[in-house]
Structure 1
Amino acid sequence: MSDPWDGPPRQATRSPDARVPGQRRAATDGTRSPGGRAATRAAARARGGRGVRAGRPVGRGRRVLRILGICLSVLIVITSGAGWWFYQHLNGNIHSVSLDGKGGTEKADAFGRTPINILVMGSDGRTSATDCKLGGGCSKTGVQSGSNADVQMVMHISADRSNATVMSIPRDTMTRVPACRNSASGQSTNGYYGQINSALQYGPACQVATVHQLTGIPIDHFVKLDFSGVVKMSDAVGGVPVCVSDDVYDTYSHLKLSQGTHTLKGVAALEFVRSRHGFGDGSDLGRTISQHIFLSAMIRKFKSAGTLTDPSAVYGLADAATKALTVDDGLGSVKKLIALAADVNKVPTRRITFATMQTAPDPANKERVVVGAGAKALFSTIAGDQSLSTGSGKKSKAAAATAKATAPAVPASRIAVTVENGTPITGRASAVATALTGRGFSSGTTTANAPSPATTTTLTYGTGQKAEARTVAEALGLPASHLKQGTGTGLTLVLGSDWTSGSGYPGGGSAPAPADTKAAVSDAHASTADQAKTCAKVSPYKTVAINGVPMTPSQAYAAARSKPDSDG
């Protein structure tokens, strides 16, 4: 047997004079000589090395390292497999739908960065037994097939990811719904004038096209949640803290909360975001404000320390989100959703502005609304990638200076343009006319087909209207060489085959003057996501009823003491 730790191999047999390890001999002077173990230790010390016993842990250490290495290899294989399974599992949860280019396309800025515009939709569909139970109303009809977009928010993330704007569009807004076909159900329409939320009956792409047509804002993506989706998301983040100004009981959404702050999960969270009779004036306008409070709190929760760094929390959130959402193909993978979340996470909460589209009563129906004063300025700030994060309504110094330097001699609001389509592209005149009115030009701007196809875009103006023509040209980036004086009156813009897409003339070099941010936030109930102490204002009006008796939500709370609170 050889001992690798003590010199060259030795024979197993011993000579008669050889000492057996451990034996001791008496010294000639009568003292004990160091032998056996003591001799081994002394020899080791003399060599500066270690004895046999000291060498054994080194052998064990190598064996332990070898075992750890094997275990680590197995662990890597297992976790890689689990990670791949998890990734595939989440991808399998996602349901995506094509937009078919109906929302327009965002343009990159001078640095090649592109803004992101997403239409966030909350569906009222009772398309499953779960949603029937949560939403009610299925006792006679059973599970339904159609749905409306009762929540519509355009979420804009700036090209440089420094700010964001979330604009709500009330569901009762009347507008023109374009021709659409739902690829899933086959249901189609040739277009009609109606309530904006009804466009979802013809598919998410139709809802996107309707909002794009109304606002002129290019919309790249959409995200849709149903009732159960709201429940899953609020549970996944561990509840959302909200505050109500007074006791409130909405007998329609069933939200019942005492005055103060509450953390809402599951059904309670759904009751809060659905409540339209509990807050404001008891209409959908008041509901958009309380929804902004809820979303602001959820964003703060997402960004709070621990939420996105806790693996179990991230797993629950990712699993819930992918199960809860329907998205467009451009967001139809875990990788793309993670990239979107990262973009949102870059924006500070103080620079995320919530606003509600300004409205006016519909002359034909007092229960409906139409686009109001200031809305076009709000649309323009979003389409123009301008920040509203100051919340004060004041323009930045740079914007004010630019506006002053480019101030037109004739205000845009006094200029109406006839836009004629001389291209083979359907809808071009409408797109450019919408861009003009969105930039503050007169609502008297009209569209038509050009008498014949045009190769070059021209802007013809009447006698004494050269200043008006220059104002239009500057807004569209149209070079002065494309302007000409005609014999008639008014301004006529003929779109040629040199301008077949976009709201600005290709290579024109001129940018439209910044929109008036004061007008954009006027009457828009603007707020920022960092306002943690804001409470939802409970309606002071008799918007609810118990046993047929009209009362305010606070009176209803007092009258229903036996009913448990939503967060009870």
Structure 2
Amino acid sequence: MSDPWDGPGSQVTRDRTTKVPGQRTAGADGARPSGGRAAARAASRQGDERATSRRRARPMRRGRRALKIAGACLALLMLGTAGVGWWFYQHLNDNIHSVSLDGKGGTEKADAFGRTPINILVMGSDGRTSAEDCKLGGGCSQTGVQTGSGNADVEMVMHISADRSNATVMSIPRDTMTQIPACKDSANGQSTAGYYGQINSALQYGPACQVATIHQLTGIPIDHFVKLDFSGVVKMSDAVGGVSVCVSDNVYDTYSHLKLTKGAHTLKGVAALEFVRSRHGFGDGSDLGRTVSQHIFLSAMMRKFKSAGTLTDPTAVYSLADAATKALTVDDGLGSVSKLIGLASDVNKVPTKRMTFTTMQTSPDPTDSDRVVVGEGARSLFATIANDQSLTTGLGNNSATATATATAKANATASAVPASEVAVTVENGTTITGRASAVAGALTDKGFSSATTTANAASQAATTTLTYGTGQKAEAQTAAKALGLPASHLQQGTGTGLTLVIGRDWPSGTSYPDGTSSPAPADTKAAVSNAHAQTADQSKTCARVSPYRTVSLNGVPMTPSQAYAAAKNQPDSDS
């Protein structure tokens, strides 16, 4: 036998027709005679080596051809896979519809470590702008498919902290009355000079107008927006394989058509849409109750999204990516697959126990009992988001002091260099007398080293800079944090020590005018008071079915539970 890859085996086959040699006899000198078994074996070995050489040549050539063919197939497979990947990437990019914000929402500022929070306005539109949305939302029998953006019936400000350790999602009830700023929709040219009205109506003048309205009301910079319509909710809930929710009692909302028995349910498609749209089924039957049930739904979706089974299943990932890009309208800053992946990665970094869902506090509108205005505590809630404070501290320890202490500890850990060990040479690069002394004095008052000194800069400077030596970046960050100096003003030099050159962009004061020095922390106790705050890890929280007669069946007012009992022929939403 011979192996086609390794050549002939070591066993030599004897020619059975050859006569076996007889007994050898010694020569006259006692030497072995030529021939005999030794000669036969030698001849056999030589012949075997020549045969081996001939037999090896053909299999080796076949092996090389096989390797070449395998390599070519592998290359084709790789090219094919890359082609599919590129097609998929382009397919997802083509799905995305993006709109410019035109700077209407303000700009977040980086902290002293160069980290920037993310604030996104998540909007759910009631627009019936497609046949699918008309079928899901109803109301198109007379108007037909509508044009325009509709109203923002769901408005949530999603804040992701600069260090990605926590997040806050604040709902703003659609019935809130506020001042709408002057706006013009770049898509259809519809404009307004501004008016006092219901907050969700700003979307009629484009997503940028809705963002500008929220920014004006709250003072929170809004970097991005994400808008979904009715069909988008259906697609997203299907893509994650359903969302698990719980209701406190039997419920039938005759308006949204949600019908469920008491207990836990996994909702997909239209059933999921009925749940998030239900405003008569939960709480007091108003939009305030709906925001709480929406938080329960989104918390469950977040847990599902972050579960290993969802993110490691290629089919689930494809379905989620395809559904998300088809369902969303976003701003230009999120208008590509890579940017949406980056956002998803940032969200995924935040543990669910550090994600707080809350609702803006409201009071009844004095002129209209069906509308609300900003209530007590709302300004504190706005401030916690604008100041990049975590509300999970407020839920666990209702102390603004505790929040400030936690923030200070986080900053100290990040910089790793206490102020007492940092000395700064402060140079005046302006024509204003005393600028270096004022800033240096402020640093020493904040506990910086007494070795901090002052001088005049070699020349005037337009921009303030903080230059640090090799290995002294952390010390520079400590000083920048204390002065409110953005990370973009820090630069590494060739010398040693820290040198702050005050430029014309800092003409007065001891805190950089465009800086990010932390303002006084907001009161987190006030921020979460009456705000229905809960964290996303609370998987056993049930939506509270309304005990009031908020629905009507056959013209008879009744509670959602009474309606469930009366509508025996109506199938359940998840049946």
TM-score by length of 1: 0.74
> Would the aligned equivalents of 1:171 and 1:195 in 2 still touch at CA under 8 Å?
yes
Moved more, 395-404 or 128-137: 395-404
- Name 1:306's counterpart in structure 2: 309
Distance in 2 between residues matched to 1:138 and 1:207, nearest whole Å: 24
- Name 2:513's counterpart in structure 1: 506
Letter in 2 for 1:115: P
> Would the aligned equivalents of 1:250 and 1:277 in 2 still touch at CA under 8 Å?
yes
Match of 1:197 among 200, 203, 216: 200
1:317-332 correspondence runs (5 A): 317-332=320-335
Matched, 1:115 2:122: no
Letter in 2 for 1:79: T
> Over the residues paired in the alignment, what is the CA RMSD in angstroms?
3.3
1:116-155 correspondence runs (5 A): 116-146=118-148, 147-155=150-158
Match of 2:20 among 27, 37, 42: 27
Q: Deviations over 1:350-381 (max 9, x none)?
A: 11100000000000000000000000000000
Match of 2:546 among 522, 539, 543: 539
Letter in 2 for 1:65: L
- In the TM superposition, what is the alpha-carbon distance from 1:230 to its structure 2 partner? 0.5
- Name 1:456's counterpart in structure 2: none
Letter in 1 for 2:110: A
- In the TM superposition, what is the alpha-carbon distance from 1:512 to its structure 2 partner? 1.6
Distance in 1 between residues matched to 2:332 and 2:272, nearest whole Å: 28
1:25-424 correspondence runs (5 A): 25-29=18-22, 61-146=63-148, 147-390=150-393, 391-392=395-396, 394-395=398-399, 398-401=402-405
Distance in 1 between residues matched to 2:400 and 2:54, nearest whole Å: 80
- Name 2:559's counterpart in structure 1: 552
> Would the aligned equivalents of 1:402 and 1:513 in 2 still touch at CA under 8 Å?
no
- In the TM superposition, what is the alpha-carbon distance from 1:562 to its structure 2 partner? 1.3
> Would the aligned equivalents of 2:5 and 2:63 in 1 still touch at CA under 8 Å?
no
TM-score by length of 2: 0.74
Distance in 1 between residues matched to 2:115 and 2:568, nearest whole Å: 55
Q: Secondary structure at the match of 1:306?
A: helix
Distance in 1 between residues matched to 2:531 and 2:231, nearest whole Å: 29
- In the TM superposition, what is the alpha-carbon distance from 1:66 to its structure 2 partner? 2.6
> Would the aligned equivalents of 1:393 and 1:519 in 2 still touch at CA under 8 Å?
no
1:478-493 correspondence runs (5 A): none
Moved more, 392-401 or 131-140: 392-401
> Would the aligned equivalents of 1:237 and 1:301 in 2 still touch at CA under 8 Å?
yes
Relative distance call for 1:28 and 1:300 in structure 2 (3 A) is same
> Would the aligned equivalents of 1:5 and 1:52 in 2 still touch at CA under 8 Å?
no
Q: Secondary structure at the match of 2:540?
A: coil
> Would the aligned equivalents of 1:402 and 1:514 in 2 still touch at CA under 8 Å?
no
Matched, 1:520 2:527: yes
Letter in 1 for 2:364: P
Relative distance call for 1:539 and 1:66 in structure 2 (3 A) is same
- In the TM superposition, what is the alpha-carbon distance from 1:533 to its structure 2 partner? 0.8
- In the TM superposition, what is the alpha-carbon distance from 1:54 to its structure 2 partner? 8.6
Letter in 2 for 1:108: A
Relative distance call for 1:74 and 1:106 in structure 2 (3 A) is same
Distance in 2 between residues matched to 1:68 and 1:559, nearest whole Å: 69
Long gaps (5+) in structure 1: 8-19, 405-475, 478-496
Distance in 1 between residues matched to 2:184 and 2:538, nearest whole Å: 41
> Would the aligned equivalents of 1:393 and 1:522 in 2 still touch at CA under 8 Å?
no
Relative distance call for 1:154 and 1:6 in structure 2 (3 A) is closer
- In the TM superposition, what is the alpha-carbon distance from 1:400 to its structure 2 partner? 4.7
- In the TM superposition, what is the alpha-carbon distance from 1:53 to its structure 2 partner? 7.6
Aligned residues: 455
Q: Deviations over 1:292-349 (max 9, x none)?
A: 0000000111110121122211111111111000000000001100000000011111
Long gaps (5+) in structure 2: 24-35, 409-482, 485-503
> Would the aligned equivalents of 2:245 and 2:297 in 1 still touch at CA under 8 Å?
yes
Q: Deviations over 1:504-526 (max 9, x none)?
A: 96167853210011110000000
Distance in 2 between residues matched to 1:386 and 1:4, nearest whole Å: 69
Relative distance call for 1:53 and 1:525 in structure 2 (3 A) is farther
